[in-house]
Structure 1
Amino acid sequence: MQLVRKPRYDTDFIFDLESAGGRGISEALGLAGFTNLDVVRNPSLGSTPYVARVQLRTTIGFTDKMVAAQRTPYSLATQTPVRRIELRVGRMSMPDAFDNNSVGTDSHLQFLNWTADNNGAWDYAADTRGYSYAVVAEYTDHDWQARYAIALMPTIANGIDLDWSLRRASGQNYEVDWNNGPVSHWLKDKKGAVRVMGFTNHADMGLYRNANRAALQARALGDASATPDITAHPRQITVKYGFGANVEQELGHNLRAYGRFGWNEGQHESYAYTEVDQTFAGGMDLAGNGWNRANDKVGLTLISNAIKRDHQQYLALGGIGFILGDGRLNYSREDILESYYNMHNWRGLFTAFDVQLIAHPGYNNDRGPVAVFTVRTHVDF
């Protein structure tokens, strides 16, 4: 709903009610790069409708010069100032504002894998459904943008309840975008973008090294079955941080490429998104103009995920995370190849066929390879 329609000071109210259920393959366990971004990781929550987003978004323009803006689910303005600040406050998902990429972000029409659509090493603030309460500030000036957000963290890893004390726990995010840089000009003004982001989380997180040490000491004292428990520590607020980058670039009229890199320090507990400490992803999509199907699209991506040494030892000693842990680990990187064909049926109706080939699921060289085939239907109203 547009509360203020003046382009220089437009204000929107956004309300989004969702229903999402289902258990996913293996109860959504055993894969760091899980095969469906829309799966709820806690199947006991059921599919009862819930509030996903409720927020105010306002623009403060610094010039009367306007540019055309495309309406999105999070912004209703059709014109916006060239130089402006945008403020959002309320319930949202951090990927609504950060780490966006026009080739690899939309799980409804593009790739499905968690680590294809988002940066797997970005442990962004969220409850188990993927949402939090946050304040986001973004400054835009011609071909670049900078944004900052502070959001509530869950009280426990992958928990549904949020910690409402920002003095005690918070997730802070930072990102800078550059649009149409030197690569775009070298490719005869083809559109492109480069984004660099960072995050700092304060929460009640355990240390893998401490959990491993406690288990090894118990074994040395005669408890041969002792396993590390990352949650077995007195309440403490620790800090986890990381950074990432993503790029996208038009290569031709119908062909686009993208890439992502992510890293976090990996010593503290994976807490909110997934168990990835380092990730590389790259791929492309091709529109169907060449075979007279302009609204069809085919995509291909390759992803490689990793975890740090303390995290590896934790799983090898029998530790359990909120996604991974089968009692043993013969470590190897988790490599994923995904491809889809998204077919436009009629008006807003699309059907997609997707295949994912996963080597070393959950970083275990003794597991896999696994092939996952998916048929997806999406309707835009």
Structure 2
Amino acid sequence: MLHDRTLLRWFCLILPLLPETVQAQQDNNNNYLDSLKNWSLHFQFTTIAQGHTRFNGAGYDGHNTLSEQPDTALSVTTTLFLGRRLWRGAAVYVNPELAGGRGVGHRDSQSPNDESLYVPAVGIAGFPNGETFRIGSARPALYIARFYIEQIIPIGRSDSKDAESEANQVEESIPASRMVITAGKFSIADMFDNNSYAHDPRSQFLNWSLMNMGAWDYPANTRGYTWGLAVEYIRPTYAVRAAASLMPTVANGNVLDWTIAKNNALTLEFEHAFRLLRRAGTVRLLAFRNVTKAPTYASATQLLQAGTYPTEPAYILTGTDYGGVKYGFGLNAEQPLGAIGGLFARASWNNGRTATWAFTEIDRSFTLGAYIGGTRWQRENDVAGIAVAQNGISADHAAFLNAGGSGFMLGDGRLPNYKPEHSLEIFYKARLAHTLYLTLDYQLVQHPGYNGDRGSVNLFALRTHVEF
């Protein structure tokens, strides 16, 4: 398996071999193009300071219980987006990334001041900081987030659109009808489950269940990336996408399992454009099937009740046998409303029998929200957003948690009063300078970790984002 250090070495070896940026090349019309146009170089830096006030914890103190005491946390990510055109329609992209910090989580009640006993990013299924999805530990770490080749193949004779250079996009003309093949290390959400209003926690909503379909057990390592092959067939009014990618060796692990025949994720999506009230909208239908070493919740519950669970405390972090299957479906829709903004909604479901292995502990999810542009108050570069989410789990999953089991995010020690987890998120993003954005964010989470005994949690965040 290629590890991040190996990728860094390969990147350093390959970069000097690429054509010199000062060299010019001649196009078919004998016009000279500066070879710098063959490159794409962009950068982002995001910090999120988030905290919650004290709430009624009802005395729960499991390993993954969200601390009822006030808590603050800081996450940091910075990414370099480097791209190089290889030949017509093809480009290679490399994204070195540095991430560190943590999300709010659990403090040991016996030693609340001991940071070594702190477990970050637990206790809430729809976790309130989407950037912690890219953080493996509190200590800053440098790694290669993406390293892939993309090939665009025109289909027939169709109109083309000139794409400007941006993050992971070289300046080029893109045909309206095309096939796109992507191979390498990437985030599968770069291609699937896109939504113009709720997809990027660096610029939009922060909650995990708003940035992607909550019940989609997103194939990725701890930081949100995987190795895979994706093929997209794109027409002006519809698109079909399919991808095969790797899953981690253990639940939420950072090491991906290369036993491809026994451990893999298959994702399929159909996208269709429609018109409502004379405005174009988009609907997407996604299906997935993951095969891992994940055990079933029912078998794990039996072991817990018999007192023979192999680890203590009882995490579902390892499995002994391949063949654990999780599958599910999701619907994603967006409706632009012109300068006013737009509306969006998602609904997703998975079979809920096999343990969650990659994304978060949600088996059913529904979200609805609005994105409001600042044109109405003469701040055309500002944005406000409001959304609600309802997340739930299967009966098998709830029984496992009630028996004292823990996943990699949830586990209060017991769950006698299961309730769906509800979230409300409101944010305002202001553009302070050409490349600087500041966001104020508020979230209200009811029944954190599906525990109806625990009171509502108020969370406040300040996000700083720089991009160029």
Shared fold per TM-score greater than 0.5? yes
Deviations 1:328-373 (A, max 9, x none): 1121000000010000111111101000000000000111200110
Give the deviation of 1:280 after TM superposition: 0.2
What is aligned with 1:352?
Answer: 439
Specify the alignment match of 1:158 in structure 2.
252
CA positional deviation for 1:251: 2.8
| Alignment of 1:114 onto 2:201 | no
Q: Is the 8 A contact 1:16 1:54 kept in 2?
A: yes
Structure 1 residues 340 and 45, CA gap change in structure 2 (3 angstroms): closer
Which secondary structure does the structure 1 equivalent of 2:213 belong to?
coil
Matches within 5 A, 1:314-325: 314-325=400-411
Provide the secondary structure at the position in 2 that maps to 1:157. coil
Greater alpha carbon shift after TM alignment, 40-49 vs 261-270: 40-49
Per the alignment, do residues 349 and 366 of structure 1 end up closer, same or farther by CA in structure 2, a change over 3 Å counting?
Answer: same
Instruction: Give TM-score scaled by structure 2 length.
Output: 0.75
CA distance in 2, matches of 1:30, 1:85: 42
Question: Aligned equivalents of 2:87 and 2:149: distance in 1?
Answer: 14
Pick the aligned partner of 1:266 from 345, 348, 352: 352
Q: Distance in 1 between matches of 2:173 and 2:293?
A: 43
Matched letter for residue 366 of structure 1: D
Contact 1:21–1:40 (CA under 8 A) maintained in structure 2: no
Residues in 2 aligned to 1:206 and 1:325: alpha-carbon distance in whole angstroms: 17
Q: CA RMSD in A?
A: 1.9
Conservation of the 8 A alpha-carbon contact between 1:38 and 1:107: yes
Deviation at 1:5, TM superposition (A): 5.7
Per-residue deviation, 1:12: 1.0
- Whole-angstrom CA distance in 1 between matches of 2:397 and 2:338: 42
Q: 1:12 and 2:91 equivalent? A: yes
Structure 2 CA distance, aligned partners of 1:20 and 1:166? 28
Answering whether residue 229 of structure 2 is matched by residue 135 of structure 1, we say yes
Q: Compute the TM-score of the two structures, normalised by the length of structure 1.
A: 0.92
Equivalent positions of 1:1-381 (< 5 A) are 1-4=83-86, 6=88, 10-26=89-105, 27-40=120-133, 44=137, 46-71=139-164, 72-179=166-273, 181=274, 184=275, 186-188=276-278, 190-218=279-307, 230=316, 234-329=320-415, 330-381=417-468
Q: Percent identity?
A: 37
Cα distance in 1 for residues equivalent to 2:141 and 2:305: 43
What is the CA-CA distance between 1:262 and the residue it aligns to? Answer: 0.6
Tell me the distance in 2 between the aligned counterparts of 1:346 and 1:232: 47
Secondary structure at the residue paired with 1:38?
A: helix
- In structure 2, relative to structure 1, the CA distance for the partners of 1:100 and 1:341 (3 Å cut) is same
Q: Which 4+ stretches in 1 moved above 3 angstroms?
A: 40-45, 69-72, 226-234
Shift of 1:76: 2.2
Aligned counterparts of 1:176 and 1:376: Cα–Cα separation in 2: 33
Specify the SS of the correspondent of 1:249.
strand
Consecutive unaligned residues in structure 1, runs of 5 or more:
none
Task: Provide the rounded CA distance (Å) in 2 between the counterparts of 1:354 and 1:242.
Answer: 31
Per-residue Cα deviation, 1:252-310 (whole angstroms, up to 9, x for no partner): 43220000001000010010000000000000111111111000000000000000001
With a CA cutoff of 8 Å and minimum separation of 6, indicate the structure with the bigger relative contact order: 2
Q: CA deviation at 1:232?
A: 7.2
Please identify the structure whose Cα radius of gyration is greater: 2
Unaligned runs of 5+ in 2: 1-82, 106-119
Partner in structure 1 of residue 64 of structure 2: none
Q: CA deviation at 1:215?
A: 2.5
For 2:87 and 2:442, locate their aligned partners in 1 and report how far apart those are by CA, in whole Å.
Answer: 44
Q: Summarize the Cα distance change of 1:323–1:229 in structure 2 as closer, same or farther, 3 Å threshold.
A: closer
Instruction: Confirm or deny: 8 A CA contact 2:197 2:204 kept in the other structure.
Output: yes
CA shift, 1:4, in A, is: 4.2
